[in-house]
Amino acid sequence: MAVAERWRARGTAAYAMYRAASRVVSPLVYLLVRWRRLRGLEHRVRWRERLGEPSAPRPAPGTPLLWFHAVSLGEGLAAIPVIRHCVQKRPDIAVLMTVSTVSAFEVIKERLPSSVIYQFAPLDTSAAVDKFLGYWNPDAVFLIESELWPNLIFSSAEKGIPLALLNARMSVKSFKLWSKPLAWSLISLMLSKFSLIAPLSTVEAIRFQLLLAPPFIINFGGDLKYAVGDFDVPQKELTILEDLKLQVASRRVWMASSIHYGEEEVVLQVHRELVKIYSNLVTIIVPRHPLHGRQIARALKQQEISVALRSNVERISSGTVIYIVDTLGELRTLYRITPIAVIGGSFLPELSGHNLSEAAAAGCAVLTGPFVGHFSHMIRQMTTLERLSVWQVSGREELEEALKQLLGDAGALEARRRAAKQAFSAVSGGVVGRVWELITAHILREPPQKALESFCLSPDAAGEGRGDGAAGRRAVSEGRPTVVGGGE
């Protein structure tokens, strides 16, 4: 404990340097955000939210407010099941959701409950964060995966706002960076400000402890990305789904999803070999970035290969051999029209995989490359339960052989599809409830037996309107309950 305290004391000096630097650059941040807006990297209308300026009214006085923040699409989708659970259990509390990227913003806004306040997150300058927290004054902050921003964390802690890190992730690369002396002192102090860290796996938990996170705040609830594949499909998506099913009804189909720059070469080489055997084959390519899809389509058309591009509303005709989906937010629908899903972001050494659960939930035969990063724990969980649930190949040649087998053997394909769906069902059950129980016990301080029932802030925690939540926050820091059973 003495070692941890010494490092945290040094962390105070490290943060003082960080905060001073952020103050120096604050005047330039306005220009940076304007420049990013011109390049399409910030929202055309709502870009001022990145400077901490709100565009929505605050909740009514006395209404508890929980703030969930995710940087981009994957993390945002992981947060939605918990947000929905919260809204369903207690519609009388308010939820604020923020993201940092434009692509995530456009997709997630269609999936959030209508009552959720939705904004862009402030950049981590002292001015933007202080303006944001001063306006919204949340009663708790929930950061998703690896959003460890010093000004946000320390400013929240100074205001007595409880912090939680859900689906907490610490990659090998990040761990090495944070392990350097000055960074280690800063991260150890930052982690000490949390009331709850819910890691993805035991490996992640060990890394957080090595960075001097207090052991008593580390608790397992499960991987929220398993819950991503379990959303209801809205009518609009069902209509798209039925149309796409008709377009590929008489064709052999496989899909490569979340493809990064450079991985298209692997996919296209495999396609060229497969189409020699299966003349009615359609390969669906879903790049991680829409612009990449248009670049692939342009190159293939120059080679006189029949390509259909989704953003141009081009249909899959009898002559189409490659269908490129250069749109956002449609993966869940696409997984329901293909029997085979190859998950990208895993075929080049600098990459680290993507979420497999949506493909498994849809009943696809799931394949992935060798470079899967922290998704290795998801693969281990699923293959331990069902050996055939995920097929991890070593590279292009093994991928080609695996696809030949699955496209040519209906029995083998069905076994893989069934195993993936069964493994997903086994690992996804109850994860949202378990995470919610951790939130209510460690952040809202409700007794565990009531955790899945209800919550509300006590009268002295709520104070007079939204401006006096500090009493309740002090109670949290002192270990006193701030939550009473509310009932529905």
CB 245 within 8 A of CB 337: yes
Three-state DSSP state, 152: helix
Q: Which two tokens stand for residue 134?
A: 């001063």
Ranges of H-type helices in 179-256: 181-191, 202-210, 235-247
Calculate the alpha carbon distances from 339 to 199, 243, 310, 410, 412 in Å: 32, 16, 20, 10, 12
* Number of Cβ within a 10 Å radius of residue 420: 27
Range list of β-strands (E), 374-462: 390-392, 456-457
Q: For the chain, how are helix, strand and coil distributed in percent, rounded to 5?
A: 50, 15, 35
Q: Is 458 exposed, middle or buried (0-12, 13-18, 19+ CB in 10 A)?
A: middle
Q: Identify the active-site residue in 42, 49, 75, 400.
A: 75
Interstrand relation of 307-309 and 281-287 (parallel, antiparallel or unpaired): unpaired
> Known catalytic residue: 273?
no
Q: How many residues does the chain have?
A: 488
Q: Which two tokens stand for residue 332?
A: 């869940």
How far is 378 from 372, CA to CA, in rounded Å?
Answer: 10
CA 342 to chain CA centroid, Å, is 19
Calculate the alpha carbon distances from 101 to 34, 48, 75, 281, 368 in Å: 15, 13, 11, 35, 26
Q: CB under 8 Å to 139, separation ≥6 — which residues? A: 64, 65, 66, 161, 162, 457, 461, 469, 472, 473
Q: Which of 97, 177, 197, 126 is nearest to 439 (CA)?
A: 197
* Number of Cβ within a 10 Å radius of residue 232: 7
CA dihedral 274, 280, 286, 291 (to 10 degrees): 100
Ranges of H-type helices in 315-430: 331-334, 357-361, 376-385, 396-408, 410-428
Q: Which two tokens stand for residue 401?
A: 């052989």
Catalytic residues, by residue number, are 75
